[in-house]
Amino acid sequence: MRVISGYARGLKLDSVESDKVRPTTDRVKEALFSILQFEIQGKSFLDLFGGTGQIGIEAISRGAKEVVIVDDSIESLKTIKSNISKLKIKGNIKCIKSDALKFLDDTSYMFDIAFLDPPYKSEVLNKDLLKISSKMNSSGIIITETPIEDAVLEKANEFILCKRYKYGKIMLNIYKNENYIGGES
């Protein structure tokens, strides 16, 4: 794993030695940030199932104003913190140990972009989607990573599924606020 672009480009990231962590592949990560290329600068970014922290680190490297990385695994948090310190990340980046739903219930943060990549077959994604929508700014974007065979919600409160991008066996699902979509240029 490596940082693909931005000021930390090319730096190698540590991985978690666990079968519970499935890092986003470089191909999917590159596609994700191509989708977000004009959206990320100066924005607040949530990486809800942090794993290694690579998505949040990529976001800060590409100019996100602030990043919050959440994971409930102690092993993952150690790796995330190691990656952050090793790369000497410039910017506001926080690592929080919490269950995703508990974090969403308890946080007062509001986000511009949220990335959700829960463990596959865990059945928590739809619950998290419904919760995250209340923590998003109205012009926000929610992106989920799922296996292509998984069904996803068409609507999570005011956020609607706008686009789906297929990368091999992986699908990136893009949600935007239905009230904001019409106001885009």
CB 48 within 8 A of CB 97: no
Q: How far apart are CA 22 and CA 166, in angstroms?
A: 18
**What are the tens digits of pLDDT across the range 44-84?**
999 999 999 999 999 999 999 999 999 999 999 999 999 99
Question: In this predicted structure, what is the pLDDT of residue 8?
Answer: 83
What's the average model confidence in pLDDT over 84-101? 86
**What are the tens digits of pLDDT across the range 122-171?**
677 888 888 999 999 999 999 999 999 988 899 999 999 999 999 999 99
Fold classified for 26-181: Rossmann fold (3.40.50)
Please list the residues that pair with 141 across neighbouring strands. 113, 176
Question: In this predicted structure, what is the pLDDT of residue 28?
Answer: 87
Q: How far apart are CA 126 and CA 150, in angstroms?
A: 11
Q: How many residues are there in the chain?
A: 185
Instruction: Provide, for the chain, the percentages of residues in helix, strand and coil under a 3-state DSSP scheme, each rounded to the nearest 5.
Output: 30, 30, 40
Identify the residue whose tokens are 């996100």: 64
Question: In this predicted structure, what is the pLDDT of residue 169?
Answer: 92
Please list the residues that pair with 96 across neighbouring strands. 70
Predicted TM-score (pTM) of the model is 0.90
